[in-house]
Amino acid sequence: MRRKKVEAGDRVPVRLSARQRELLFEETFVDSAYAKRLRSAKSGSYFVGEFTLDDLEDILGYVASAANHADDDRLEEELDQLWGHLRHIQGSYDDGNWQDSC
C-alpha cells in the first residue's frame, strides 16, 4: 500500500459515523479529550476530526482491548470493524516511524 508522507506530529483526517463515534466513546476507555476533536459534519450523519498517527495508535489499543473483552458477539464484531476502519486510516500515512510487522 502506498502511504502519504506526513511529518511526525501532523494530524490526519478521520471520519466516523455516528455509530462508530458512539462505540468509541461508550464502549472503550479512550481518553475523552479525543471526543473534543470530533465535530459533526454539516449533514449530521458523520463526525470528522484530526488525529496524529500516535493518537490513532493509542485509540486502536483501546478499541482492540474493548473488542477482546466484549461479552456480546455483535458488539465485538462492531468494535473489530471500527478497529479495521481506524487501522486503514492510520496505514494510509507514513510519518517516517512506520514499521511493517514481519
Q: What is the mean pLDDT of residues 54-73?
A: 96
Contacts of 69 (CB under 8 A, 6+ apart): none
Per-residue pLDDT, 41: 77
pLDDT over 70 (residue 99): no
- pTM of the full predicted structure? 0.88
Strands 46-52 and 11-17: antiparallel
Q: What is the mean pLDDT of residues 43-57?
A: 91
